[in-house]
């Protein structure tokens, strides 16, 4: 009932692990696969080893997180060793692998994509981290940079390429249009929302980086709005992300136009969340006498 297909890739269910949560090691990715994820997404991988921000890097809020980890990465060559160790196990469980990558320019994105292509079922371009050092934080706000990076990666690899969009722009459709013009295969929406938390006793920002990316329940209405707009404007598959804690949250995303969803913050409270969400989706579809394909974009009719 929950089988789906995106760009020729078949998934056993539409509930995936989002990038940035439990995706730093092969073992953590494998654990999420065992917990029922239809696909697991790696933490974003850079070309070379990269340090993140200094502590503190995370602020816990009510069913939300504010983080400024800073896209730390061991580098693509080292991380490939992690992925190689688990790929056969993922295949046996019929769990797909989405590899998230980021770079400082077109050449870096292209080089990383070519290195990971043989292991990835989908490559996800992280052009939208709101707390990264360097140019990455502005790529997803610039249509020209978005176009050139998407175009370079698309012509370099044969696996499907999705672009992860930021909500931290005036017009997300302008950025999505640039990616669409570059023949991207699909969209992931959304990345975290730029935010700030202040310690009233210390009278200064809590995060060492001051600003961080807000995830969790607080951003679900924003994620839904972006997915809705993307569905209205483009004929490409969308993976919805942001504030998904239940099957009912996921169903909202499907109705808005998403074909699959990714779960991040909720995983930290319950590793079994994938099974729970899938069960609630199935119950809803049976109750409504509908299929998953039936409800994708249904809120637009």
Residues designated catalytic = 129
The verdict on whether omega for the bond into residue 154 sits within 30 degrees of 0, i.e. cis, is no
What would the two tokens of residue 236 be?
């490409």
- DSSP characters over 209-241: TSEEEEEEGGGHHHHHHHHHHHHHH--S-EEEE
What would the two tokens of residue 52 be?
């993140």
What would the two tokens of residue 221 be?
């209405």
As a whole number of angstroms, the distance between CA 227 and CA 176 comes to 11
Backbone torsions φ then ψ of 224, nearest 5 degrees = -65, -40
As a whole number of angstroms, the distance between CA 144 and CA 165 comes to 14
3-state helix, strand, coil in the chain (%, to 5): 40, 20, 40
- C-beta of residue 191 within 8 angstroms of C-beta of residue 164: yes
List of residues 6+ apart from 200 with CB closer than 8 A: none
- C-beta of residue 136 within 8 angstroms of C-beta of residue 126: yes
Burial of 122 (0-12, 13-18, 19+ CB in 10 A): buried
């Amino acid at each position: 009932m929950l089988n789906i297909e995106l760009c020729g890739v078949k998934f056993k269910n539409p509930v995936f692990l989002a990038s940035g949560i439990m995706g730093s090691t092969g073992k953590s990715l494998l654990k999420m696969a065992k917990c029922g994820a239809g696909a697991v997404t790696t933490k974003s991988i850079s070309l070379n080893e990269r340090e993140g921000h200094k502590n503190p890097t995370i602020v816990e809020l009510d069913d939300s997180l504010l983080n400024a980890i800073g896209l730390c990465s061991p580098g693509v060559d080292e991380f490939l060793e992690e992925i190689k160790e688990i790929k056969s196990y993922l295949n046996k469980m019929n769990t797909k692998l989405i590899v998230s990558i980021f770079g400082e320019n077109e050449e870096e994105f292209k080089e990383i994509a070519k290195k990971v292509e043989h292991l990835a079922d989908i490559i996800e371009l992280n052009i939208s981290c709101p707390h990264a050092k360097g140019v990455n934080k502005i790529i997803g706000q610039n249509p020209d940079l978005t176009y050139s990076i998407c175009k370079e990666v698309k012509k370099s690899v044969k696996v499907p390429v999705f672009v992860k969009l930021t909500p931290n722009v005036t017009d997300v459709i302008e950025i999505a249009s640039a990616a669409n013009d570059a023949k991207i295969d699909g969209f992931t929406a959304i990345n975290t929302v730029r935010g700030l938390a202040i310690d009233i006793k210390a009278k200064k920002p809590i995060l060492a980086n001051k600003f961080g990316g807000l995830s969790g329940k607080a951003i679900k209405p924003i994620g839904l709005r972006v997915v809705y707009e993307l569905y209205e404007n483009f004929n490409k598959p969308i993976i919805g992300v942001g504030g998904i804690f239940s099957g009912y949250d996921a169903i909202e995303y499907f109705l808005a136009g998403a074909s699959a969803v990714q779960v991040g913050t909720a995983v930290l409270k319950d590793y079994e969340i994938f099974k729970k969400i899938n069960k609630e989706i199935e119950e809803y579809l049976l109750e409504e006498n509908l299929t998953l394909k039936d409800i994708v974009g249904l809120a637009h009719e």
